[in-house]
Structure 1
Amino acid sequence: MRDLLINIAAAVVVFVAGAISRELLGHFKARHDRAFWGRRLLRGRTNLFIGSFTRLNHLEPSGWVGGGDVRALQCLTSTLDRNGADFEVAYASRISEEQLHENIILLGLDETNSLAVGMFERLGSGFRMNAETMTITDLPTGEIYRPEWDVNELNGADPRLDYDGSWFITAGSDGTQVARRFRTDYGVLVRAENPFAPGRTLIMMAGIYGFGSWRAAQLPRDEEFLRRCAGLRNFECLFRVEVQQGQLLATSILVLRPLPGIRTDPGSPALSREPSGEGHSGSPPPYGPPDSPRGARTDGGQSR
């Protein structure tokens, strides 16, 4: 009987210790998340807008969404749900006027996400993404970034041999068949004031392809990225991500800079810009959102 009671007591202690550990871990993750997202977004109403390839509606009437965007969506909904955020996932093509005046997360380029059209100009961003040429241009430097591919000539070989599922066959510039595999994508992550609703937050996450969107959704969990964002309230980031057989590998932050302040006129859709004061002493807490908990810092880590 004594041994039974000891075993029961030990089981209770282990259960309680596990519950406390999970609670502490959840609390730490919540503070970590607030470092990027801020209480304003996590405690307010948020709309997460995705796009779809409407030109493929004849294949899937409910909407055709890329695999990278799906994985990005899974990452974002997991984070928002863990923090108890009040959010809704919707197609950008079906937005209402009311939704524009809440917190907004935009996932994807203007080819799929209609809300992204003109948003870079509206926010005063130095980036321009072109869905037709599949490029990102950094206006201050004039640098143009393009995805990179591995290309192998088949030279009459059976295209089904010696290739895994990450390769596909296409015609080269001279009409001969070549095997291509995706190697490098580029993407942007922008955090700003919602230009349609002062006091609300706008987040933009987009890659030239879905791999960039996927990595953009993961960056707010990256210790090194958060460290580099310290002190930036509204900012834009350009990054490069290496891809191998459909999996994300190393990530390099190429550009990270503050955005100008945005002032909106409630009676007019016109916007005007204010000089940015981001990054100066007197700006509140680490990582930027003015409503983030002061002192919610993490150090170390590497971009991946």
Structure 2
Amino acid sequence: MAGDLGGTTVVPDLTVNLVAAAIAAGAGWAWVPVKRRIRTRRARGFWRMYRGRVGPSIVIGRHDTFKDFEPSGFVGGGDAMALRELQRIFDEIGIGSPDIIHSNAIDANLLKQSNLIGLGGPDGNWLTRIVLERVVTTIRLGRPEIHEIAIEDTVENEVYTPWFRPSWDEGVDYGAMYRIPNSLFGKEVLLIAGAFGYGTWAGVRLLAGKEFLRHPAVAGNRPFECLYRVDVVGRDPARVEILTVRELAVSPGAT
């Protein structure tokens, strides 16, 4: 009960505690978005080209090898999981819902107007194949016309070939990532491709890694190529190791 001592009003402890709790709760709610912005600062820097009025377009591969069985084509499981994790990153950093397009159904106008993200290798993704045919790289994906499943580092003269146990539950995959500004198509092209689908899936996970985002070429939003190794455990890309990141000699106006 409030009282009066020498003309001074005594506020009950309960009221003081409630006010203090309300202030603390309000401060906590206000701190949540601030903390998120701090945590995602590097990621938002990496994706700043994709935060414009026109959102990015994700181009995902579609395999028509068994079109007699399924005429709409097949999307690899690793590519599908990569797409899901990429959408999760976009939700976290505030990029709107991207357009998702199968590579054999791309509109020519969209290619010129949007920043593009290609998921999957040249065997199933036309965007990956056509862009890498026009850019000189030192990390080269396997050639689908000869069913080559490997990634070559021409600087180190090393060929990285994935391997798996007969169950396909455990093994090692490899992947490559390329960032090419103002290339043949769109304002910017980001390609993420594994030797198998695990490598594509792991490449998206790599996009959230501190070591990757801190690399000078990546943090500086310069053209780069990246080679990485993926340890697969229980059909999950459990560990991703960066093998090399190099700047690409692509001029900003390259077409």
TM-score (norm 1): 0.69
| Length, aligned pairs only | 237
Q: Comparing 238-247 with 66-75, which one deviates more in the overlay?
A: 66-75
Q: Deviations over 1:224-271 (max 9, x none)?
A: 112224446110000001111112233221121110123657xxxxx4
Q: Would the alpha carbon gap of residues 29 and 58 (structure 1) be closer, same or farther in structure 2, given more than 3 Å must change? A: farther
Taking the aligned partners of 1:263 and 1:15, their CA distance within structure 2 comes to 48
How far off its partner does 1:53 sit? 1.9
Q: Residue type of the partner of 1:123?
A: V
Q: Is the 8 A contact 2:179 2:191 kept in 1?
A: yes
Residue 74 in structure 1 maps to residue 74 in structure 2: no
Residue 49 in structure 1 maps to residue 59 in structure 2: yes
Taking the aligned partners of 1:238 and 1:258, their CA distance within structure 2 comes to 12
Partner of 2:135: 123
Residue 12 in structure 1 maps to residue 11 in structure 2: no
How far off its partner does 1:83 sit? 3.0
Q: Residue type of the partner of 1:50?
A: I
Partner of 1:219: 206
Q: Deviations over 1:117-169 (max 9, x none)?
A: 13223122122212412111222333211101235xxxxxxxxxxxxxxx2xx
Partner of 1:149: 164
Taking the aligned partners of 1:188 and 1:263, their CA distance within structure 2 comes to 21
Q: Deviations over 1:41-66 (max 9, x none)?
A: 22252111111222234444444222
Taking the aligned partners of 1:253 and 1:219, their CA distance within structure 2 comes to 9
Q: Is the 8 A contact 1:42 1:80 kept in 2?
A: no
Residue 246 in structure 1 maps to residue 235 in structure 2: yes
Partner of 1:154: none
Report matched runs for 1:1-304 at 5 Å: 9=19, 12-37=22-47, 39-45=48-54, 46-86=56-96, 87-101=98-112, 102-130=114-142, 131=144, 132-150=147-165, 167=167, 181-196=169-184, 200-229=187-216, 230-231=219-220, 233-262=222-251, 264=253, 271=255
Q: Is the 8 A contact 2:182 2:252 kept in 1?
A: no
From the CA coordinates, give the structure whose radius of gyration is larger. Answer: 2
Q: Residue type of the partner of 2:65?
A: R
5+ residue gaps, structure 1? 152-166, 168-179, 266-270, 272-304
Q: Deviations over 1:209-229 (max 9, x none)?
A: 111111110112111112224
Taking the aligned partners of 1:183 and 1:120, their CA distance within structure 2 comes to 27
Which protein has the bigger helix share? 2
5+ residue gaps, structure 2? 2-11
Q: Is the 8 A contact 1:41 1:103 kept in 2?
A: yes
Q: Is the 8 A contact 2:118 2:127 kept in 1?
A: yes
Q: Is the 8 A contact 2:182 2:253 kept in 1?
A: no
Q: Comparing 11-20 with 127-136, which one deviates more in the overlay?
A: 11-20
Taking the aligned partners of 1:79 and 1:181, their CA distance within structure 2 comes to 26
How far off its partner does 1:25 sit? 2.2
Q: Residue type of the partner of 1:216?
A: G
Which protein has the bigger strand share? 1
Q: Would the alpha carbon gap of residues 44 and 33 (structure 1) be closer, same or farther in structure 2, given more than 3 Å must change? A: farther
Q: Comparing 241-250 with 222-231, which one deviates more in the overlay?
A: 222-231
Taking the aligned partners of 1:56 and 1:262, their CA distance within structure 2 comes to 40
How far off its partner does 1:105 sit? 0.5
Q: Residue type of the partner of 2:204?
A: A
Identity within the alignment, %: 31
Q: Residue type of the partner of 1:109?
A: G
Taking the aligned partners of 1:91 and 1:116, their CA distance within structure 2 comes to 12
Taking the aligned partners of 2:73 and 2:35, their CA distance within structure 1 comes to 37
